[in-house]
Structure 1
Amino acid sequence: MLTRRLFLGGVAAAVFASAAQAQDMPVYFDTDGAAMGGYDAVSYFNGDGPVRGKPQYSVMWKGVEWHFSSAENRDRFESNPRAFAPQFGGYCAYAMAQGELISTDPTLWQVVDGRLYLTHSPEIEEMWSSDRAGFIRKAEEYWPVVLYHQ
C-alpha cells in the first residue's frame, strides 16, 4: 500500500510540474519579438493576403505580442483571437502532422475551412497541399502535446 501511495504521489507531482511548466511556455511561435513575424493575422482573412503589422497596433495574447496593420484589425482580433490566430501555434502545419515543431514563413499560408495554416517553405507548402485534410487530422493528434516534449 505504501508503494502504491509513493507511486501515485510521484505521478501526481510529475503531472503538476508539467502543468506548471506548460503555463510558462508560450504557445505561439514568434520571430522578431512578434507572432507570425509581425504579420497581421486578420489580414489573411480580408482577401488581400498577408500584410505586415505595425507595433503601434499590437496586443499581447497567449504570451506573445501580435502586430496589426490597423486599429480595426487589432480590435477584430481582440474580439475573437481564436478565429484569426494560426492553427498549431503558428508552427508549420505539415511538420506538426509529423509531430515536429518547425518555424514558419508567414507568406506561405492557406485558409482551410475558416482556419489559418502556415508552412515552412514552398516545398513543404506543396507537400502539405497534396492532402491538407489528412495532414490537419494528423497534426491535431499531436497538438498541443508536442509543445511539452521538445
Structure 2
Amino acid sequence: MKRLLPLMVIALLFTASAMASEPPVYTGLLSNTGAGGYDTVSYFETGQPTKGSSNFTAEYQGATWRFANAEHLARFKDNPERYVPAYGGYCAWAVSQGNLAKGDPKYWTIKDGRLYLNYNQSVQDQWLEDPDGFIRQADVNWPRVLE
C-alpha cells in the first residue's frame, strides 16, 4: 500500500488538473495582472500600449488591471467590456485555431472597437492577413477553448 500511495497522489493530481478549465483572462503563470500590466485604455486613447501603474488598478473577471492614470481607470470602470482585450487577452490568432497561447500586449490590433492581442510579430503578421476571418473563427472557438 505504501508503494501505491505516491502513484495514487500523482493520479489524483493529474485528474484534477485535467478537469480544471483555463481562467477567462490570461495573466501568466505567477501573476494576476491582465494584459501584462499594460493600460488597456491607452490603446484606444493614445494609440500606443502604455504600462499601467500599481497606483491605478481595478479588479475584473478575476484579474487585476492596471492603468497609467486616474482618468483611464475611471473609463475602464465605466465600461470594462470595451477595454478588456478580446478572448481575455489570450492570443487571438491561437483562439481562432482552437488553441490557447499568451497574448503579448506589444502585438495588438484594434478592429471594430475591440482590442486583440497576439503572441508575437510573426503571429501578428499572419493575423493581419485576414483579421475578419480569424475573428469569426475565434468567436466560434471561444469559450470552448477554455474547457
TM-score bin, normalised by smaller chain: 0.7 to 0.9
* Structure 1 position 30 matched with structure 2 position 42: no
Alignment length (residue pairs): 126
Does the CA-based 8 Å contact 1:38-1:52 persist in structure 2? yes
In structure 1, the gaps of 5 or more residues are 1-20
**SS of the residue 2:74 aligns to:** helix
RMSD between aligned residues: 1.3
Shift of 1:110: 0.5
Give, as a single letter, the amino acid of the residue that structure 2 aligns with 1:29.
Answer: Y
Please list, as runs of the form range in 1=range in 2, the aligned pairs for 1:3-82 lying within 5 A after superposition.
Answer: 26-31=23-28, 32-82=31-81
Kindly, what percent of the aligned residue pairs are identical?
Answer: 40
The CA distance in 2 between the partners of 1:87 and 1:40, in whole Å, is 15
Shift of 1:36: 0.6
Does the CA-based 8 Å contact 1:99-1:146 persist in structure 2? yes
The CA distance in 2 between the partners of 1:132 and 1:147, in whole Å, is 21
In structure 2, the gaps of 5 or more residues are 1-19
Structure 2 length as normaliser, TM-score? 0.82
Structure 1: 4+ residue segments shifted above 4 A: none
Structure 1 length as normaliser, TM-score? 0.80
**SS of the residue 1:45 aligns to:** helix
The CA distance in 2 between the partners of 1:43 and 1:26, in whole Å, is 24
**SS of the residue 1:78 aligns to:** helix
Does the CA-based 8 Å contact 1:109-1:117 persist in structure 2? yes
